Structure formats: C-alpha cells, structure tokens
Amino acid sequence: MRVPLDYANPSGPQVDLALIRLPARDQSKRIGSLVVNPGGPGGSGVEYVQAAASDLPSELRDRFDIVGFDPRGVGQSDPLNCKADMNAYYRLDFSPDDDAERAALVSGMQAFVDACERNEGSRLPYLSTQYTVRDLDELRAALGDQKLTFLATRTARTSAPSTPRRIPTTCARSCSTAPSTRPSMQSSSRWSRPPASRECSTRS
C-alpha cells in the first residue's frame, strides 16, 4: 500500500507499506479487521502476524481479519538505512556504572544518530508516531472498515493512545480501550481481560 511520505504534500514522494492479512476463520460472525503492531520500536508487524497469529485467542482469529503492517522505515516498508557501524553499536554498555562508561555510551549513541542524519536526514522528520497514525487511518480506509480496531504490544502502545485524538472519527477501540468481552495484550505478554469496557469516543 502506498502512502505519502509527507501528508502535506500528497502528490510528492511515496512510501510503500508492507502488509499481511489473515481472513477471519468464521466469516459468518466476522466483525472486521484487527490491526496489530508488536512495537519494538522497529518491530515488523508482518513478521509478527506470520509468527504469532496462531497464538491469538480463538475469539480474535474467528471474528477478525488479522492484519499486520511494517511501519514506515521499518522491515519491508522502505526501511531506514543509516549505514551506521552496528558492531560498534552493539558493543556499547547500556548499563554504565561510572562517568567514563556513561560518556562512552553517549558518544556511541551520538555516532549512531549522526550516521542516520547524514544518510537519511531528509526522511527522518517523516518517521514518527504522528505519521504512523495517519498511515493507520489510510490502512483502515483501504481495508474498508469504518472504525479502526488496533492491538498494540509493548512500546507500540505509544501509537494506540494517539489514534483516538488524531483520528477522532475512525477509532472504534485500541489497545487497553478494547471492550471487556475481548482480550487485550498486556505487558506481561499474557492475555487478560481489561477491568472495564470502553470504546473510544468519536465525533462526526
């Protein structure tokens, strides 16, 4: 699916978003599409669906098309290539114990940032939660759903709370706002039911 790199310039450069869809197993009781995002940041929604869809509760697999997508700049969606020294990056100590180790970590992270700005600086402003939310609404429309149902795990939750505020007319439920009759993924990676039922408020 192609979307604008910059939504303020829809006829300008485009981004190819990689998608996967597994149809609901019980089409007679199908509710719609469930878009999932494993987070990371940098996780592939396509790979997540390929690997983990069979572990989703039967209530979801039976009644929802399970849809995964790679966010812009990730996986197969025109991935970012900072051309950074990843060997040096993975050698960094992310639990510094003294000033010298903290200085080395800051220096190593800055080198990574510098490489991204040098090689992908023109695209970096458009690889953000705000643009991912706009992409989600384009995906919702392409799927033919009036409302977005979104399941986020781990750090992908930063997108889910943004969606109702930014796309107020299209959010049915997202992450922890899923109705109590349907499971939601908690940070422990165990399926549990939220304590209260609440749908995102919508405005026309």
Looking up residue 40, the CATH number of its domain turns out to be 3.40.50.1820
Residue 189, pLDDT > 80, answer no
Residue 174's DSSP bridge partners are 150
Q: How confident is the model at residue 152 (pLDDT cuts 50, 70, 90)?
A: confident
- What number is the average pLDDT over the span 93-97? 95
How far, in whole angstroms, is CA 203 from its chain's centroid? Answer: 24
CB atoms within 10 A of CB 58: 9
Q: How confident is the model at residue 53 (pLDDT cuts 50, 70, 90)?
A: confident
Q: How confident is the model at residue 194 (pLDDT cuts 50, 70, 90)?
A: very low
What is the residue whose two structure tokens read 């494993």?
38
Q: How confident is the model at residue 173 (pLDDT cuts 50, 70, 90)?
A: low
Token reading at 129? 């939660």
**Does 40 map to a domain?**
yes
Decide: 153 and 186 in contact? Cβ < 8 Å. no
- pLDDT of 42: 83
Name the domain boundary from 98, 120, 142: 120
- What number is the average pLDDT over the span 49-62? 91
Task: Tell whether 151 and 185 lie within a shared domain.
Answer: yes
- What number is the average pLDDT over the span 160-180? 45
Task: Tell whether 145 and 64 lie within a shared domain.
Answer: yes
- In the 8-state DSSP scheme, what is residue 199? P
What's the start-to-end Cα distance of the chain, in Å?
A: 27
Among 90-104, 139-153, 163-177, the least confident range = 163-177
Task: Tell whether 74 and 92 lie within a shared domain.
Answer: no
Q: Which domain holds residue 32?
A: 2-78+127-192
Percent of residues, the chain, with pLDDT higher than 70:
75
Among 76-90, 117-131, 134-148, 173-187, the least confident range = 173-187
Summarize pLDDT for 108-143 with one digit per residue, the tens: 999 999 999 999 999 999 999 899 999 999 999 999
Decide: 195 and 178 in contact? Cβ < 8 Å. no
